[in-house]
Amino acid sequence: MNSAQIEIQLIASLVAIACAIPGTFLVLRKMAMISDAISHSILPGIVVGFFITQDLNSPLLILLAAFTGIITVVLVEYIQKTGLVKEDTAIGLVFPALFSIGVILIAKNANDVHLDVDAVLLGELAFAPFDRLFIEGTDVGPKSLWIIGSILLITITLLLAFFKELKLSTFDKGLAASLGFSPVIIHYGLMSVASVTTVGAFDAVGAILVVALMIAPAATAYLLTTDLKKMLSLAIGFGVLSAISGYWFAHWLDASIAGSITTMLGFIFLIVFLFAPSKGIIAVMYREKQQRTEVSLLTFLLHLKNHTEERERHVNHLQEHINWQKVRAKTVLDLAQKNNMITMNKNIVSLTNKGDTFTSKAIDYIITNEDAQIEDMKEDFFLFRG
């Protein structure tokens, strides 16, 4: 590993952390698509900023572009407030328009601007170490490292300072407002941080891939935990992990680093999406199947409780009466027998005492919807786990 490689990985990791923090809150506040809108609509800001400063890394340009991001948010909210269209339509209308303006500005001034749309959208991390910052003639490292480093520093400071307020306004806007924390200020604060981060990161990873770095780690973490602090640290962890593994994947494949980082993010998300312990797709499907069987079991037990006649309780009759397939009927019967809820005598099914109390309790629960009835059943049955 040479120093350029280390620097690239460092920049990528810092970008990942800087994106994961606002990203977590965006995902929790159901505003993930706003980051997509911001990432597109900063383009005109970047172009205008570039006309003024002639330097892609100048702080003024970053501020100008971040300001366009905030304008996007304001515009979206204004359109939404008029009630003419829904919020998502408002987002979908604003950012393509702003982005188009940016593209046209670039195309019209192609001769004066050393800026092309691909670069803004995709970035090129591999070149980042060659644009170095000199202070009084000494080389202190790549410019983008300093930029993203300072943005990260500001983000972390703000996060630590306003963690309580952010948490409160994210989960209970009403309470936050009544306690005197203005949700509006926090909202726009978060939007500003998201905009500044997007702009700061765009020339390293590209504007669209910033969106991936904001949403994907947070969404992945959200599938694994419901604790805000854990979610933040998991998101940061996933971000850094995919930044570094993505770099080496790109190195091996000789392709775009940003694209490869995103692919890694997607890969991690896919794995978690499939295998997460309680919220992964496999766990959910297993739970749903189990619940279906348990609902059937309950129906079955109710049927037994309601009928004393032997004819109604014959195994064969059950199959045609409740209209179950053979396999399903067998699963339900087995489950009931395993739990000692029924006894079979010459193919006549009858409830045991345990089965009888279980059914009464379950009915009570369904009618009253009070948890107390089924506290002790929660262990054994998915159905009652809420």
Chain residues binding other proteins by CB under 8 A are 27, 30-33, 35-36, 40, 79, 82, 84-86, 88-89, 91-93, 96-97, 99-101, 103-104, 107-108, 110, 117-118, 121-122, 206, 208-209, 211-212, 214-216, 218-219, 222-223, 250, 253-256, 258-263, 265-266, 269, 273, 279-281, 284-285
Helix (H, G, I), strand (E, B) or coil at 349: strand
Tell me whether residue 102 or residue 200 sits nearer to other proteins (CB atom). 102
Listed in sequence order, the DSSP H helices in the chain are 3-28, 32-53, 59-82, 87-108, 117-122, 143-171, 173-178, 183-205, 207-224, 228-253, 257-275, 281-306, 315-321, 326-338, 353-368
* Residue 169: strand, helix, or coil: helix
Instruction: Pick between residue 148 and residue 261 the one whose CB is nearest to other proteins.
Output: 261
CB of 249 to other proteins, least distance (A): 9
Q: How far is the CB of 330 from other proteins (least distance, A)?
A: 28
CB of residue 15 vs other proteins: minimum separation in angstroms? 14
Rounded CA separation 184/175 (Å): 13
Contact 274, 280 (CB under 8 A): yes
Report the nearest approach of other proteins to the CB of residue 129 (Å).
Answer: 19
What minimum distance in Å lies between the beta carbon of 243 and other proteins?
12
Instruction: State the minimum distance, in angstroms, from the CB of residue 52 to other proteins.
Output: 21
Q: Which lies closer to other proteins via its Cβ, residue 68 or residue 256?
A: 256
Question: Which residue's CB is nearer to other proteins, number 226 or number 360?
Answer: 226
CA distance 31 to 25: 8
The CA–CA distances, whole Å, from 311 to 172, 297, 348 equal 57, 19, 8
- Pair 374, 361: CB distance under 8 Å: yes
Nearer to other proteins, 30 or 354 (CB): 30
DSSP state of 276: -
From the CB of residue 175, how many other CB atoms can be counted at a distance below 10 Å? 12
Q: Which C-beta is closer to other proteins: that of 89 or that of 340?
A: 89
